[in-house]
Amino acid sequence: MTDIEIASQVEMLPITEIAKKIGLQADDIEQYGKYKAKLAWPLAYRPDKKHKLVLVTSINPTPAGEGKSTVLVGLGDAMNQIGRQTVIAMREPSMGPVFGIKGGATGGGYSQVLPMEDINLHFTGDMHALTAANNTLAALIDNYIMRDNSLGLDPRRIQWKRVEDVNDRALRNVVTGLGGVMQGVPRETGFDITAASELMAVLCLATDLVDLKRRVGRIVVGYTYDSEPVTVAQLGFTDAVTILLKDALKPNLVQTIAHTPTIIHGGPFANIAHGCNSVIATRAAMQLADYTVTEAGFGADLGAEKFLDIKVPVLGKTPDAVVIVATVRALEYNGGAKLADLDRENLLELKRGLANLNRHITNVQRYGLPVVVAINHFASDTDRELAVITENCQSLGVDVAVTDAWAQGGAGTLALAKKVVQLVEETKAEFTPLYDYQASPRAKVETIAKKYYGASEVEFSRKAEKQLEQFARLGWNDLPICIAKTQYSFTDDQTVLGAPTGFKFHIREFVPKLGAGFIVALAGNMMTMPGLPARPAAVGMTIDADEKITGLF
Amino acid sequence: MTDIEIASQVEMLPITEIAKKIGLQADDIEQYGKYKAKLAWPLAYRPDKKHKLVLVTSINPTPAGEGKSTVLVGLGDAMNQIGRQTVIAMREPSMGPVFGIKGGATGGGYSQVLPMEDINLHFTGDMHALTAANNTLAALIDNYIMRDNSLGLDPRRIQWKRVEDVNDRALRNVVTGLGGVMQGVPRETGFDITAASELMAVLCLATDLVDLKRRVGRIVVGYTYDSEPVTVAQLGFTDAVTILLKDALKPNLVQTIAHTPTIIHGGPFANIAHGCNSVIATRAAMQLADYTVTEAGFGADLGAEKFLDIKVPVLGKTPDAVVIVATVRALEYNGGAKLADLDRENLLELKRGLANLNRHITNVQRYGLPVVVAINHFASDTDRELAVITENCQSLGVDVAVTDAWAQGGAGTLALAKKVVQLVEETKAEFTPLYDYQASPRAKVETIAKKYYGASEVEFSRKAEKQLEQFARLGWNDLPICIAKTQYSFTDDQTVLGAPTGFKFHIREFVPKLGAGFIVALAGNMMTMPGLPARPAAVGMTIDADEKITGLF
């Protein structure tokens, strides 16, 4: 059965029942249909509560993904089964990839979040609100340079791009404002996907509405002819943009197939953005449960690094344990096996690929965090393959559990849940950040690239070098770095798999995001607007008169 | 007090209570928060029910608008007060104008629909769903011409434009697909506002999900190098687009300040689109109440003509009475008074401006429909001014009532309600369409321009002439015409007010919308993407820590 077929056979509980499980009454939520709600209650965060936080990350994936969300959902269900009151906190899917290649992002099989069609499509409108707020700001900026421009904003130096939650490569590079005097000021610009927008990061890092407004106001939209930054606050657009985000700031409550309360909120990608769900949602989960299990996107080189270096300082809480999801398939892929061969036993490639897992283990341990490896079981795995991974982890003194969350849900994730609980309850994590927050952007990039990725050298483009000078002049030195790079490799080249060392890491350009509070470093040729494949998933979808949908994964 | 201040002092009823008033139970609706819902029940329309339908339209407005929505809401409240069970059916506001010049579109004063902030911003996400569906289709089309293009779709002849619910003039004319082989196929295109999109019209004219899907499939997205039309169905994208619209197709239920059930659904502008709320919503209202009061956008030259010639054939029901809203201000403006002088008495201009009202009366009567004039009272009106209008109407044998819906709500609209009920219950409307549906597009345009607007001649541009030949060749002759023109004038020149005759009417271009089932005729220099004014409303908006908003009208 497909994911959507499994999902359609589940009888969901009314969302009011799910809310009750975590102590929320009817007035604490705003229903969106019968099975979705926004948390309406004031999210007064009490940092003194003894909540536990578990972060789920993974090794470098294959293009099909390694089922990290599936393991996360199964883990949440299993934790509740073994008597630990647990809430899952995860990101909202982006609609663009749903119609492209990736499919949905709500887990799979018997470890899914429901209602999966709604969550994978418009959900409660957060992504659309971000798109609208982003593009309203863009229109206000273009109107400003056409009408007045008393601040001298340079049309060539406007940094604020429009966005869409669509995979639309034709919008990567556009010329707008054509047609004459009454049609605006012509300029080169482009669209990003909403998940990569600064407002998405702002929403995910804001601690409340006032903080959101402050962050919106300090967004730098561009530079004057004298290269001075111009902010949203200077233009007077702060409140209008904030108004459009007031509901999107409220976390969404849904349920898993096993009725585990799940808070889904914020959806930045981890390759081209910071890859973590919102601070408000994670805090809400921690407030409402003894255990919060959450995820960060793609491999630990991307999402987890950003979780630990960008989100944790705002969140005010470090993970009590980290789960690294690995699959036989992805290890073999990292060890040189071809995609078409992953269904058969490839012991040689598997053993070679373990270097990728081990690099991620070492990296997470570098932060002082306890690690457990989850082997996400696929039907094609052999006992010998599983044994190779288990023995490798044991030789490193790292806990490991085989999970079967897809086929068995929480029941297939019990062993992992027990190991996680043991690790959390018996280990004391001593968190050490990867880099000094006071270091220069150059130093931070070099630390991440060398200590974390394995590079021997970082090459900054001429443009990036000039930007580093500019940041120093503007006093933007103390911001964390958010690296945008391929999810397939520790390098900036997606074909270099495994655990490479001694490579040169290339920074093409920086994008300062003062509202989000970090500086994006674009590595290699990473794009901030995905494209569609030759045969988009959209072509295979159907809907009938009774709203029954097929072709959503 | 401002509209939003008045609105914020009202205690709304839970939407479940409003639903009960019209016989809907909890399972018949899907709540969106406590005060908004979508109708979830299958909208089985029984055309045999003896429901009455009242259409509210207006004379040519001033740029500030004449309070048609305010009168509509007051009328709905008053109808219920005099014992006629009434539901209001109206359009959804577009967010673009809210941040531009127009403000909200939920009535005003004590005749408002609530919660006004929500309805004027994201509401239940219908506009955003339309934007997403439209732009997903655009991305699929651009991906198709880059990847394969086995149908030979000509990049220069792609008609499908992207949309945004933002007033963004800089997107009217753009070049997309720049940057090289991997970034798509470069081409000239543009963005429209979502309210003007074909999908908006498709949503508003579809009778159910199956009809929606059929209409989406027959949309012509462009032409081949051989000038043959290419449809969504041919490209295989019908279901994917339909999936994105399945929830948007369900009408939204809210309430007025006086708790009158109000169905708000679909929001095409009447100047650049067909200007009527959805067929599904109007049918739902008729199913649930004895009286449905609804509106069509701008003056009767635009919204009402399109309601009667485009919507009625699908709806299967003609209005039992038509209310034409007039104001002293707009009549004086039409009679030559300057905008700055409208606050004082201008009897001469008022008398001259009556020609505009009288043209609209004659036009509506031409359809065989009973007319009542509503004078929407402003504080600056004098008794002498009101008497001039009343006497004019009486001399024509047309009922007239002065309304004060803004300041007094339903109580200020009782006289109008009584006249409407009398007209409906004592007159038998005999509907005659304006034009023969089998006539050619050229003949239809000429009928509308000459018989309805007062033109002596229609000039088709060279491009429009070529398109007429093309339509004849393709067999697209039997579709109704949707004229896009300025709302300020019967002509295509917004400075020609009053009731001009003997003018030349200019058709610049046609836009065939096969999914919607009509052909748009662009008159004069009408734009399908509005711009922002020198000082956008956005600049004056504020929001505080408790989500209290100011600056929304």
A93: left (phi over 0), alpha (psi -120 to 50) or beta: beta
Euclidean distance between the first and the last CA atom of chain A, given in angstroms as a whole number = 11
Best CA proximity match to A448, nearest among A414, A481, A405: A481
Looking at beta carbons, which residues of chain A come within 8 Å of B38? 33
Q: Tell me if residue B41 is catalytic.
A: no
Across the interface, whether the CB atoms of B32 and A32 are under 8 A apart is answered yes
Same domain, B283 and B183: no
CATH of the domain at B215: 3.30.1510.10
Same domain, B285 and B422: yes
Same domain, B304 and B400: yes
Q: How many Å apart are CA B167 and CA B103, to the nearest integer?
A: 12
How far B241 CA lies from chain A's nearest CA (Å)?
A: 8
DSSP B322: E
Same domain, A20 and A111: yes
Instruction: Tell me whether residue B550 is exposed, middle or buried, using C-beta atoms within 10 angstroms of its C-beta: 0 to 12, 13 to 18, 19 or more.
Output: middle
pLDDT at A29: 93
pLDDT at A103: 66
pLDDT at A43: 65
pLDDT (tens digit, 9 = 90+) per residue, A163-208? Answer: 999 999 999 999 999 999 999 999 999 999 999 999 999 999 999 9
pLDDT at B302 over 70: yes
pLDDT at B66 over 90: no
Of B34, B184, B534, the CB nearest to A147: B534
Q: Tell me if residue A476 is catalytic.
A: no
Across residues B468-488, what is the average pLDDT? 95
Please say which residue of B245, B264, B280 terminates a domain.
Answer: B245
How far B313 CA lies from chain A's nearest CA (Å)?
A: 23
Across the interface, whether the CB atoms of B136 and A166 are under 8 A apart is answered yes
Looking at beta carbons, which residues of chain A come within 8 Å of B153? none
Across residues B13-34, what is the average pLDDT? 94
Best CA proximity match to A421, nearest among A169, A130, A181, A85: A85
Q: Enter the ipTM.
A: 0.96
Same domain, B281 and B319: yes
Q: Tell me if residue A298 is catalytic.
A: yes
Helix axes A383-395, A347-366, angle to 10 degrees: 30
pLDDT (tens digit, 9 = 90+) per residue, B522-536? Answer: 999 999 999 999 999
Q: Tell me if residue A41 is catalytic.
A: no
Closest residue in B to A242 (Cα) is B543
Residue B43: pLDDT band (50, 70, 90) is: low
Same domain, B224 and B274: no
For residue A240, tell me if it sits in a domain: yes
Structural domain of B477: 441-523
The reply, when asked if residue B67 is annotated as ligand binding, is: yes
pLDDT at B50 over 90: no
B31 close to B41: Cβ distance less than 8 angstroms: no
Same domain, B188 and B52: no
For residue B156, tell me if it sits in a domain: yes
pLDDT at B166 over 70: yes
pLDDT at B62: 92
Across the interface, whether the CB atoms of A129 and B122 are under 8 A apart is answered yes
Give pLDDT tens digits along chain A (553 positions). 889 899 999 999 999 999 999 999 888 999 999 999 999 866 656 666 779 999 999 999 998 888 999 999 999 999 999 999 999 999 999 999 999 986 678 999 999 999 999 999 999 999 999 999 999 999 999 999 999 899 999 999 999 999 999 999 999 999 999 999 999 999 999 999 999 999 999 999 999 999 999 999 999 999 999 999 999 999 999 999 999 999 999 999 999 999 999 999 999 999 999 999 999 999 999 999 999 999 999 999 999 999 999 999 999 999 999 999 999 999 999 999 999 999 999 999 999 999 999 999 999 999 999 999 999 999 999 999 999 999 999 999 999 999 999 999 999 999 999 999 999 999 888 899 999 999 999 999 999 999 999 999 999 999 999 999 999 999 998 899 999 999 999 999 999 999 999 999 999 999 999 999 999 999 999 999 999 999 999 999 999 999 999 988 7
How far B392 CA lies from chain A's nearest CA (Å)?
A: 41
CATH of the domain at B461: 3.10.410.10
DSSP B161: P
SS3 of residue B409 by DSSP: helix
For residue B185, tell me if it sits in a domain: yes
Looking at beta carbons, which residues of chain A come within 8 Å of B239? 541-543, 551
Same domain, A54 and A181: no
pLDDT at B48: 65
pLDDT at B27 over 90: no
CATH of the domain at A397: 3.40.50.300
Please say which residue of B377, B392, B426 terminates a domain.
Answer: B426
pLDDT at A104: 77
Same domain, A109 and A131: no
pLDDT at B63: 87
Average pLDDT, chain B: 95
Of B125, B236, B539, the CB nearest to A122: B125
Looking at beta carbons, which residues of chain B come within 8 Å of A543? 209, 213, 239, 242-243, 246
Average pLDDT, chain A: 95
Same domain, B516 and B454: yes
CA-CA distances (angstroms) from residue B404 to A290, B66, B104, B343, B538?
A: 58, 12, 19, 17, 29
Across the interface, whether the CB atoms of A135 and B166 are under 8 A apart is answered yes
| Size of chain A, expressed as the number of residues it contains | 553
How far A317 CA lies from chain B's nearest CA (Å)?
A: 25
pLDDT at A44: 59
Strands A86-90 and A291-295: parallel
pLDDT at A48: 64
Marked catalytic residue, from B57, B70, B106, B231? B70
Q: How many Å apart are CA A312 and CA A420, to the nearest integer?
A: 20
Please say which residue of B190, B215, B245 terminates a domain.
Answer: B245
For residue B432, tell me if it sits in a domain: no
Same domain, B70 and B184: no
For residue A162, tell me if it sits in a domain: yes
Closest residue in B to A240 (Cα) is B538
Phi, psi (rounded to 5 degrees) for B112: -125, 160
SS3 of residue A549 by DSSP: strand
Best CA proximity match to A409, nearest among A23, A119, A3: A3
Best CA proximity match to A157, nearest among A128, A187, A202: A187
pLDDT at B104: 77
Residues 6+ apart with CB under 8 A from B343: B380
Q: How many domains does chain B have?
A: 3
For residue A547, tell me if it sits in a domain: no
B119 close to B264: Cβ distance less than 8 angstroms: yes
For residue B436, tell me if it sits in a domain: no
pLDDT at B103: 66
Q: CA-based Rg of chain B, rounded to a whole angstrom?
A: 23
Same domain, B197 and B215: yes
For residue A178, tell me if it sits in a domain: yes
Q: Tell me if residue A411 is catalytic.
A: no
pLDDT at B64: 82
The reply, when asked if residue B397 is annotated as ligand binding, is: no
Which 3-state string (H, E, C) describes A305-331? HHHHHHHHHHHCCCCCEEEEEECHHHH
pLDDT at B159 over 80: yes
